[in-house]
Amino acid sequence: MDETTDWTESARQFQQILGESWGKALQMLQPGELGKAMSMPPSAPLSFAPDKLAALQQQYMEDARALWGQGLHAQASKTGDRRFAGESWANNPLSAFSVAAYQLQARALMGLADAVEADEKTRARIRFSVEQWLAAMAPSNFLALNAEAQKKALETHGESIAKGVANLLHDMRQGHISMTDESRFEVGRNVATTEGAVVFENELFQLLEYKPLTPKVYERPFLMVPPCINKYYILDLQPENSLIRHAVAQGHRTFVVSWRNPDASLAHKTWDDYIEDAVLTAVATVQKIAGTKQINALGFCVGGTMLANALAVLAARGQDSVASATFLTTLIDFGDTGILDVFIDESFVRLREMQMGQGGLMKGQDLASTFSFLRPNELVWNYVVDNYLKGQTPPPFDLLYWNSDSTNLPGPYYAWYLRNFYLENRLIEPGALTVCGEKLDLSKVKLPVYIYGSREDHIVPAAAAYASTQVLPGKKRFVMGASGHIAGVINPPAKKKRSHWVREDGKLPPTLDEWLAGATELPGSWWDDWCAWLAGHAGKQVAAPKSYGKAPHFKDIEPAPGRYVKQKA
């Protein structure tokens, strides 16, 4: 654009557009539109704090006038946003202006969201909806505005665009965005490779036993219960970052539940079925194979919630089959469910109950998409930009391959879980729930427990993981690690990455903040701390078994990782 252009008339027209945009922004935050975006019914009309609204509108108009006055000389704010960090954005006037305008609109919309006068849940839903819209509308997502994608197209003489279209067609066929080069991985070949065998199976799960790596093992075997919303091999990605292999190398006779990926034949399965016929069956089977009165157990995420239910059932039956339990990023007290709380209310849960409470499947891809859009810029739109606009093939990454390997859930199981835990938080109420014919009372679960939470976890907030210390009555140890839901857990000591927090005085005050006030930050992984704790509950050392299972009833059915984990949703 010619720098001598008279901007007066254009500025007047732009001011008119800005006024209209402001009105549309206010309309977007009204509950009718919000309800459509969130698939929730509308509530009473929203109101805004008048002082905040007036200040925000004044600032918006001033910033807009300044932006228009700068024209194509406008520069984006230095916010550290990786989407616009490349030099190409600053060197392309149109792209730079589009980012500056986008940042202006983003500030205004988030300011509007903060100005809403409503209860905290409504405000959280509004913020979530606005953040989703802003993530989708970023200039980086459009070829016409993405300076880096345009530069790559010129440099490759259009080949990047052709490759991007091919990537898009490939992902449409497979039904999800490629986060990694999935052709580089195969379960059992270069992920989930710890040596072992399937020693038991039923329609819900296979039980894997791993080959000892030490001449002696602890007499109490060790059972891992991973979440059934994911494949178990997040615990066994590569030899160097495998928690399963690490446990085996520490001398634990290790067993793992490998969940079947439900199809229509399991669409009627309930929460009770998974506790009785899976978790409790796995506990009893490990006892029989090892010939011991007690075992040690670990539950990860939803697997931890299931383990807590199973322990309460055992307690109600007067059985003490489990000597100690470990809970990794687990919700037992659902009072704080983090960002997922924006989805949960009576109407949402009732809808799910109507759809699948009596039968049906919660599709794994739907679950995976939900979790991805909790972090849209990192897990959705950056792959749209790289794969489709720039025509790049994502690099191989074992964790993201696992993340794309989705699993279904039986509808009755899922609907019951939503209502009784996420919505009504009934697990912490003594006698409020009946599971497998038993009234659950966690005050009777008096075994020692190790509780781990991740500081940046957006699925199970660290404070929510810590809340288990106030519910379980036995001797407890709480440790907090750095990073998020997965990366915080999968953090082998050899990597010497991140850090963790411990409190050696053993005090467990009511809140995480109070606990942290007396905690010490230590470099590196929490795994060694956990291994020392687990060894204290594992009993004496005995000769390692020479074969898998226990004849004649529990034989080597097939090599690990088994058939179930290879089933696709």
Residues annotated catalytic, as ranges: 301
Which among 463, 460, 452 is positioned nearest to 498, based on CA atoms?
A: 452
The Cα 320–Cα 292 span in angstroms is: 12
Give, in order, the Cα–Cα distances in Å from 140 to each of 95, 102, 109, 233, 319.
Answer: 9, 10, 19, 34, 58
Q: Would you give the DSSP letter of residue 189?
A: T
| Beta strand pairing call for 449-454 and 322-328 | parallel
The Cα 548–Cα 557 span in angstroms is: 10
In sequence order, the 6+-apart residues with CB closer than 8 A to the CB of 205 are 257, 258, 259, 260, 278, 282, 564
The Cα 250–Cα 534 span in angstroms is: 10
Which among 143, 184, 92, 94 is positioned nearest to 391, based on CA atoms?
A: 143
279 CB-contact burial (10 Å; exposed 0-12 / middle 13-18 / buried 19+): buried
Q: How far does the chain reach from its first CA to its final CA, in angstroms?
A: 53
Question: Residue 562 in 3-state DSSP?
Answer: coil
Phi–psi pair at 298, nearest 5 degrees = -135, 135
Q: Are 242 and 248 in contact (CB under 8 A)?
A: no
Give, in order, the Cα–Cα distances in Å from 478 to each of 321, 485, 527.
Answer: 23, 16, 13
Which among 286, 263, 285, 282 is positioned nearest to 274, based on CA atoms?
A: 282
What would the 3-class secondary structure string for 465-514 be?
HHHHHHCCCCCEEEEEECCCCCCCCCCCHHHCCCEEEECCCCCCCCCHHH
Q: Which residue has the tokens 């969201």?
A: 113
